[in-house]
């Protein structure tokens, strides 16, 4: 397979599929961080074996992709598994016991017919007659072949190349095949950049560091930020004391931020991602970061966790909000600014992504539009727009419409002070006019 991929790369160079400048003395920078689509049923990475295109002119590895040999499942990868599917237990059936019989009085056996004797139950013959409605052995069951399901189960332990097709989904479009989608990746022109195009001098690039346990080459110092930097910035950030306003203000301040393309690492065995400040703040710098972006904004907007919990996983977030009574399914609730919106892109009934509701408005077409701020929908924090009836919207996390602190917030205090000052000024003006000779003249 390695020879095949190397040959493909050489052929691509000959056919002009790779940039012509790749043959120049100055080696191109490989900037590709290809991964399969993220979500249920996806592996999160592509099968990849390093080829000549993955190295610079000096033989140093540039490729940010982990080396993962392609694997195609064969019959040897499966074992036959026989599982009991019968809901019945094995039983010999009904067996008659004494409770199945009833005593029946027969002929009189007593010969004493004197007036002083009164026949009792002991004077009669008795027999036991079967009164049970069940037959002996009725309900007996022994498992046969119809009680078992025989199926082939993948047991090789390797991720095989697989791209979902129609056979992988049911009639509703939900994924049912059980295999992760895994694609083989061959570098193309879009995977390369050149030093002068990257916007940074070549000599300023840090020396790549090879992470142990994988073939991933990355710079773990690139784009890294510190907790102290965030605290210093948001200490001066203006807060109104109103949750939704402050939350959206922090989120808007993040628009345009992008995950690192130079500092790339594994969050788990298969998830490969770029460093983000939101992941670093949460303690998972290379993880999928849509939920952590909003958690970051909630924290620095000073929304208390008692009002809106923090999470890094969208499905756990829904569960926690639902338990608090703060989750509503799409179609059952009209969202408002500051609410969370959960999406189900692959129609499997489970959330894949979360965004923040910025505005909800009725357009001229009489169609309600939802505008959001989202992270990790693309590699950057961006705005998106949806119809309120969009089928990918799964539900909403409801931000309580309260102020950010118990009791009167600073904003409320200011409003009340303005009201009191206005009332006081009005009273003074009235008293002044009342004493005016001009006003008395008019009143006479």
pLDDT of residue 254: 92
Pull the structure tokens for residue 382: 């961006």
pLDDT of residue 199: 41
CA 330 to chain centre: 16
CA 305 to chain centre: 20
Relative to beta strand 209-210, strand 192-193 is unpaired
HEC states along the chain?
CHHHHHHHHHHHHHHCCCCHHHHCCCCCEECCCCCCCCCCCECCCCEECCCHHHECCCCCECCCCCCECCCCCCHHHEEEEEEECCCCCCECCCCCCHHHEEEEEEEECCCCCCCCCCCCHHHEEEEEEECCCCCCCCCCECCCHHHEEEEEEECCCCCCCECCCHHHECCCCCECCCCCEECECCCCHHHEECCCCCCCCHHHCCCCEECCCCCCEECCCCCCCCHHHHHHHHHCCCCCCEHHHHHHHHHHHCCCCECCCCCEEECCCCCEEECCHHHHHHCCCCCCCHHHHHHHHHHHCCCCCCCCCCCCCHHHHHHHHHHHCCEEECCCCCCCCCCEEEECCCCCCCCCEEEEEEEEEECCCCCEEEEEEECCCCCECEEEEEECCCCCEEEEECCCCCECCCCCCHHHHHHHHHHHHHHHHHHHHHHHHHHCHHHHHHHC
pLDDT of residue 178: 61
pLDDT of residue 442: 37
List pLDDT tens digits, range 250-300.
Answer: 999 999 999 988 888 877 655 678 899 999 899 888 889 999 999 999 999
How many residues appear in the chain? 444
The residue ranking higher by pLDDT, 51 or 312, is: 312
Q: Cα–Cα distance between 194 and 77 in angstroms, integer?
A: 43
Angle at 65 between CA 64 and CA 67, to 5 degrees: 130
**8 A C-beta contact, residue 265 and residue 286:** yes
Q: In sequence order, what are the beta bridge partners of 101? A: 130
Q: Is the pLDDT of residue 361 over 50?
A: yes
The residue ranking higher by pLDDT, 83 or 297, is: 297
**8 A C-beta contact, residue 123 and residue 109:** yes
| Mean pLDDT, rounded, for 385-406 | 80
The residue ranking higher by pLDDT, 92 or 15, is: 92
The residue ranking higher by pLDDT, 258 or 48, is: 258
Most confident of 1-10, 125-134, 265-274, 361-370: 125-134
* Sheet (strand 327-329) strand order: 327-329, 393-397, 340-343, 353-362, 368-374, 382-387
Q: Is the pLDDT of residue 2 over 50?
A: no
Q: Cα–Cα distance between 289 and 282 in angstroms, integer?
A: 10
| Mean pLDDT, rounded, for 195-222 | 47
Q: Pick the range with the lowest mean pLDDT from 102-106, 110-114, 438-442.
A: 438-442
Pull the structure tokens for residue 184: 């083989």
Nearest to 401 by CA among 313, 335, 331, 309: 335
Question: What CATH fold (topology level) applies to the domain 219-407?
Answer: endopeptidase fold (from Nostoc punctiforme) (3.90.1720)
pLDDT of residue 181: 65
pLDDT of residue 395: 93
**Residue 157 phi, psi dihedral angles, 5° rounding:** 80, 10
pLDDT > 90 in the chain, percent: 20
Categorize the per-residue pLDDT at 319 as very low, low, confident or very high, splitting at 50, 70 and 90. very high
Pull the structure tokens for residue 313: 């996983």
List pLDDT tens digits, range 415-427.
Answer: 445 445 545 554 5
What does the domain layout of the chain look like in residue ranges? 1-73+158-218, 219-407, 412-443
Q: Is the pLDDT of residue 374 over 90?
A: yes
């Amino acid at each position: 397979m390695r020879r095949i991929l190397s040959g493909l790369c050489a052929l691509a160079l000959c056919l002009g599929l790779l940039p012509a400048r790749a043959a120049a003395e100055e080696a191109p920078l490989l900037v590709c961080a290809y991964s399969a689509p993220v979500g249920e049923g996806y592996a999160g990475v592509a099968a990849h074996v390093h080829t000549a295109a993955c190295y610079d002119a000096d033989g140093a590895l540039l490729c940010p992709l982990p080396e993962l040999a392609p694997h195609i499942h064969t019959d040897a990868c499966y074992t036959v598994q026989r599982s009991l599917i019968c809901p019945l237990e094995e039983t010999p059936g009904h067996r008659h016991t004494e409770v199945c019989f009833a005593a029946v009085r027969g002929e009189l056996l007593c010969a004493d017919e004197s007036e002083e004797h009164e026949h009792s139950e002991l004077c009669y013959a008795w027999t036991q007659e079967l009164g049970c409605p069940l037959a002996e052995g009725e309900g007996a069951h022994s498992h046969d072949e119809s009680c078992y399901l025989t199926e082939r189960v993948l047991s090789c332990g390797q991720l095989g190349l697989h791209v979902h097709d129609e056979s992988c989904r049911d009639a509703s479009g939900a994924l049912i095949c059980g295999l992760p989608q895994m694609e083989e990746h061959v570098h193309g022109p879009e995977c390369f950049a050149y030093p002068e195009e990257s916007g940074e001098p070549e000599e300023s690039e840090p020396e790549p560091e090879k992470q142990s346990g994988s073939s991933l080459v990355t710079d773990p110092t690139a784009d890294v930020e510190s907790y102290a930097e965030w605290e210093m910035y948001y200490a001066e950030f203006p807060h109104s004391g109103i949750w939704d306003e402050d939350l959206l203000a922090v989120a808007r301040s993040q628009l345009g931020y992008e995950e690192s393309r130079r500092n790339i690492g594994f969050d788990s065995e298969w998830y490969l991602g770029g460093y983000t400040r939101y992941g670093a703040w949460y303690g998972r710098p290379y993880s999928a970061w849509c939920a952590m972006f909003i958690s970051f904004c909630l924290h620095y907007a000073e929304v208390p966790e008692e009002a809106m919990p923090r999470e890094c996983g969208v499905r756990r977030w829904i569960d926690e909000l639902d338990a608090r009574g703060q989750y509503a399914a799409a179609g059952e609730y009209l969202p408002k600014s500051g609410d969370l919106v959960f999406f189900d892109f692959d129609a499997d009934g489970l959330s894949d992504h979360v965004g923040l509701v910025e505005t909800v408005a009725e357009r001229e077409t009489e169609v309600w539009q939802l505008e959001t701020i989202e992270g990790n929908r693309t590699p950057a924090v961006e705005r998106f727009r949806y119809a309120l009836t969009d089928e990918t919207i799964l539900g909403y996390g409801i931000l309580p419409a309260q102020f950010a602190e118990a009791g009167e917030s600073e904003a409320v205090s200011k409003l009340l002070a303005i009201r009191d000052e206005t009332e006081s000024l009005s009273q003074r003006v009235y008293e002044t006019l009342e004493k005016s000779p001009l006003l008395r003249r008019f009143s006479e």
